[in-house]
Structure formats: structure tokens, C-alpha cells
Structure 1
């Protein structure tokens, strides 16, 4: 498998800063926003966005994490035992502006699973979606409200995001299967 770097640490940081500014600009009452990161790499992304928004506006947003393991539509098809991380949402989402955060959006199935899990925590006033990378190829009618970078891919290509918190380095790679 070959890999090509698409975003280095500086580009990742610029995209996170831009996402943070867009979230503030599009939401009139930032104190009503709750950032929910989807395990695995949506969680550190949500924490980074929280930090950027705090430095931009002085507002400290509530954050949480969402484990969609048992809501995935391919859960029973997977041959490996899933690693359950656990959902950590310590507030009611009733009436809140929830921003779901993930590293990459592809088919939309992860986001559908996240929406199923979110319903357990109250009825949000609105749910928005922020992703670092949109690689296209949706199978469901789901669109991100905030996108760090659009990276169209072809069959046999994958996008891999790494963060300091989980991987020791901030970067985005395009992986290609060798045939």
C-alpha cells in the first residue's frame, strides 16, 4: 500500500482553526453548543475545536464523546471483536445545538449510527456535522455543515488521519492499494 501526505501538521491546524471560526460564525449563541466527538479520532478533533473556540471567543463549550460500535449497520458482519470505548455525554442534549465531529466522512454510515446513539441523550434543537476531511462517495443523504478539506478519492483509495493525541503526529494521508 502506498501513501501520500495530503496535509501536514500546519495544514491540519489551519483547517481546525477554520472549522472553529465557521462554527462560531454560523451559531448565534455559542454557549448553547455541545461538541460531540465520534470515537476514535473525532474525540481529539472535538477537544481541539473546543480549545480553538475558547481562544477565539472566550467561551468554553461542553464536549462529549460517542461510541457507535453497537449502532453500526455492519456490526454483525465484522469478524473482529469490537473495542468498545463507551459514550461519555454528561448533560442532557435537550434544546442544545449539537455539533457531531468526526475526522473523515465517506459513505455517511458512521454519521447515521451516531445519530441513532445521540437520540438516547435528549432531543437536540439542531444537529450539525463538522469533519476534517470529506472524501465524497455518500451512500446516505448526509452532508457535513463544516468541512476542513474536501479530498475526492477513487476506488481503492483511503484517507487516514493521524493526531498527536492518538498517533503521535498530526497529518492526513491518502492510501492506495497496490495491485
Structure 2
């Protein structure tokens, strides 16, 4: 599992929920599958990531995984963010009222974040507490960033930089 370093650096008491969503519009909440974080494999404050393992992986293996897109995304590339802002039900961020198309897009790459030129920026609407959410390419549907700064613009750590640090652990 991958999240932000500023979210946690130790697995003590960390519970991860899967399938925490409404299965239909205005429907009831589905029953989440819960597992405990077990071990930090790698963490870095400068790139603001924590890679960790969970107990009982078999309970969540059917949910699949997201692939990392280990390239610097293009300025103007369509993108979106999926997350659980402030621990709420799953939200999908697709809209950007600053882009001509109205869709989320990469605004800049090699933006200074927690370290020099570590981030991409975007104006995609997100809610507070979205840190750790994957930023996905609208073209490849693979992870291009790890959302960590909300604001105007929002920013995500470039996943190509994170992948260079954790690739041997995946």
C-alpha cells in the first residue's frame, strides 16, 4: 500500500478500509473490508510517501491494484483523483473550472513540493483530507502522482520519482 509520509510513518493502529463506498447513487454504504497495516517498507519525507504492508492480504487481494505510470506526465494531460477525503465515502474528482474543457488536467510538472521539482500541479477540485489519494492519468488510467497538497493549485508527488525509490520493493 502507498500513502503520504505526512499521513503516517508508523503502522501502529493504522486500519485500512476497502470497498468503502455507495454501490449506487443515494444508496446505502457497502460493508467495508478492513485490514491492519503491519510493516513500513519505505518512507521519505522529501517525496512525502510511505509504502507499507498489511496483515491478511488475502482478504483484499480481490480488489486488485493500481499500476504506476513511471514517466513524467505531459502538461495538459487529462487526469483525475480518486480518494476518501477526510475519511468520507469514495469521491471521484474529474472537474476543473480553470481548464477550457472543464476536465482535470496536469497544469505543470517539476513543481517544487516537499523537495525541489518533485510535484505535478493541477486545478482538479478536491476536498480537505484527500492526501494519499492516487492521481491517475486520463489516458493510461495508471498512477502519475500521489496527492499531497490542497490549494490553488493542488499538487501531487510525481510517481516516477517515488517508483525510482520503491521499485525493488514492489
Structures share fold, TM-score greater than 0.5: no
Q: TM-score, normalization: structure 1? A: 0.27
TM-score between both structures, scaled by the size of structure 2: 0.28
Q: Which has the higher contact order (CA 8 A, sep 6+)?
A: 1
Higher-helix-fraction structure:
1
- The structure whose residues are more often strand, as a share, is 2
